[in-house]
Amino acid sequence: MYISIKTRKRVLLVYILASWPCSIYGRVVSNCSLGAMNYARFLTAVSAARKPSPIRMLTEIQQRSPPSMISLAAGAPNPNTFPFHSCSIQVKNGDMLTFDETMMKRALQYSASSGIPELLTWMKALQKNLHNPPTANYSAEKGKMDMCVTTGSQEGLCKVFEMLVNPGDNVLLDAPTYSGTLAALQPLGCNLINVPSDQHGMIPGGLKEVLSRWDPADVHKPHSTVPRVLYTIPNGGNPTGASMTTQRKRDVYELARQYDLLIIEDDPYYFLQFDKPWAPTFLSMDVDGRVIRTDSFSKILSSGLRIGFVTGPKPLVDRVVLHIQASTMHTSTFTQLMVSQLLHGWGQEGFLNHVDGVIEFYRTQRDAMLSSADKCLKDVAEWHAPAAGMFLWIKVKGVADTQKLIMEKAMEKEVLLVPGGVFMINSSDPCPYVRAAFSLSTPEQIDEAFKRLSALIKESL
Ligand code: PMP
């Protein structure tokens, strides 16, 4: 079935329903190889079975259409019936974000699943400036790389995992790791394989050793058990605070090439690196198109607005967008427009100035926590100063497992911390670590908390 949409200057022909895979959008999606990479090999059956939503596709077309377009297509509600009229939001620097009546109607309406164009354009320029990915050519049809907006980076991660991880697959990661990653991966029924790591992140020699269980010659054999996916948090790791050195990233990337692995670079603390220049990312080294990067505005603009991004090879980003079409449909138009207005007002320089201010805050907080730890915990614990993020990973000496200490005794003394076990692949394995966040508490509160923790540790020895 064809729908033909006439505008003054052009006729848009959209071929939908029965032959959808041959449509404009379907053709882009089904092209699953770029250069040497064969992305079809990485897709799960669930992801491969996803089809573009004809209705969502029309929303994308409508978004790009001139006002003269008459749309009888969309099943969108009429925003005139909504109770909101307009709004203005004062930015701390005195700027105003204004949503007049027209803008408000747009903000309250459905929008494209990949994200609103002006936010994507801004982010692509930033991404290019920060990472200059070797395979990037963001021009829509020819581009090898693409981006989409997600509802926080958590949504992006979940969807990337669902796209790439089949039950029984071997997945590589450096645990302890973010509990939200474990929560997303474990129900997929995969085998999580721990790659050794230390305060400088994943250890390439350890990865090499783990991978030596398989022969690179078997990678492309049918039913191969060679892992296809490696996940890591490269900066200010949650919970460890570890940041990976550039050389380690290069070595890991080389191993990924040897075994044809995709690297999932989950980097929500990228903007919270305390020292400049910021470390080169996996994305910046990605000559093959084997890196999928998740970014987040949660730590620098707002966690409640829920804005994150997936950047990666276009055939894979397209798959994530198909999943978004079928689930959330899109990240809130309102919050995207709000952030987009802010960013366009600031420009990249203004944004990076703001980030510098945020870094300054967290650096001061980190230093306060390190000095309290030095004062209160020196005899009973060990740690490494994090170079990014918001966490201190503390090893309690002489305590095999911190679960009881933290969940019972510390709580009784009104100190909340996270026992390290929750970040381990097997959460019931004994873990002598504790995660302390320096994001919210004042230096005085941190000091008091560590005094109480120190007393509890001494009591339990
Ligand atoms: N990855 C890591 C490592 C995190 O620590 C977090 C948040 N705690 C996320 C992803 C998710 O962040 P968000 O969805 O808020 O962007």
Residue type, 285: M
Distance 385 CA to ligand 1 centre (A): 21
Give tens-digit pLDDT for 216-245.
999 999 899 999 999 999 999 999 999 999
What share of residues in the chain are helix, strand, coil (percent, to 5)? 45, 15, 40
Half-sphere CA count of 402, side-chain side, radius 13 A: 29
Helix (H), strand (E), coil (C) string for 373-431: HHHHCCCCEECCCCCECCEEEEEECCCCCCHHHHHHHHHHCCCCCEEHHHHCCCCCCCC
For 261-296, letters b (16+ CB in 10 Å) and e give bbbbbbbbbbbbbbeeeebebbbbbbebbbbbbbbb
Closest residue by Cα to residue 373 from 453, 431, 439:
453
Distance 222 CA to ligand 1 centre (A): 35
Lowest mean pLDDT among 140-154, 182-196, 264-278, 334-348: 140-154
Task: Check if the interface score ipTM surpasses 0.95.
Answer: yes
How much is the pTM?
0.91
Give tens-digit pLDDT for 95-145.
999 999 999 999 999 999 999 999 999 999 999 999 998 876 544 444 488
Name all residues whose Cβ lies below 6 A of ligand 1: 152-154, 178, 180, 233, 238, 266, 268, 296, 298, 303, 308
Give tens-digit pLDDT for 152-191.
999 999 999 999 999 999 999 999 999 999 999 999 999 9
Closest residue by Cα to residue 437 from 392, 384, 376:
392
The answer to whether the beta carbons of residues 48 and 30 sit under 8 Å apart is no
Predicted confidence band at 33 (pLDDT cuts at 50, 70, 90)?
low
Q: 3-state class of 95 per DSSP? A: coil
Distance 199 CA to ligand 1 centre (A): 20
pLDDT at 13 over 70: no
> What proportion of the chain, given as a percentage, has pLDDT over 90?
81
Of ligand 1's listed atoms, the one at least distance from the Cα of 157 is: 10
**Stretch 343-363: mean pLDDT:** 98
Of ligand 1's listed atoms, the one at least distance from the Cα of 303 is: 15
Residues 22 and 319: their CA atoms lie apart, in Å, by 16
- Long-range (24+ apart) CB contacts under 8 A made by 125-133 are 125/348, 126/348, 126/351, 127/283, 127/295, 127/309, 127/311, 129/348, 130/278, 130/281, 130/284, 131/280, 131/281, 131/283, 131/284, 131/293, 132/284, 133/283, 133/284, 133/286, 133/291, 133/311
Biggest CA–CA distance in the chain, Å, is 80
**H helix intervals, 289-395:** 314-326, 333-376
pLDDT at 10 over 50: no
- Residue 297 corresponds to which tokens in the numbers above? 């505005």
Instruction: Output the CA torsion sign for 380, 397, 417, 364.
Output: positive
Secondary structure element (H or E) that encloses residue 152, with its range: helix 152-164
Q: At 305, phi and psi to the nearest 5? A: -70, -25
The closest residue, in CA terms, to atom 5 on ligand 1 is 238
Closest residue by Cα to residue 262 from 322, 172, 380:
172
pLDDT at 35 over 60: no
More confident residue, 19 or 268: 268
Distance 154 CA to ligand 1 centre (A): 6
Distance 153 CA to ligand 1 centre (A): 6
pLDDT at 194 over 80: yes
Of ligand 1's listed atoms, the one at least distance from the Cα of 233 is: 3
Distance 93 CA to ligand 1 centre (A): 27
Give tens-digit pLDDT for 363-385.
999 999 999 999 999 999 999 99
Q: What is the pLDDT of residue 137?
A: 58
**CA of residue 183 relative to chain centroid, distance:** 15
The answer to whether the beta carbons of residues 283 and 131 sit under 8 Å apart is yes
Give tens-digit pLDDT for 299-324.
999 999 999 999 999 999 999 999 99
The answer to whether the beta carbons of residues 399 and 432 sit under 8 Å apart is yes
Give tens-digit pLDDT for 400-421.
999 998 988 899 999 999 999 9
The closest residue, in CA terms, to atom 11 on ligand 1 is 154
Residues 38 and 43: their CA atoms lie apart, in Å, by 10
Q: At 47, phi and psi to the nearest 5? A: -65, -40
**Left, alpha or beta for 390 (phi > 0: left; psi -120 to 50: alpha)?**
alpha
Task: Give the C-alpha distances (Å, rounded to integers) separating 99 from 59, 89, 95, 338, 347.
Answer: 21, 8, 13, 9, 19
pLDDT at 62 over 90: no
pLDDT at 9 over 60: no
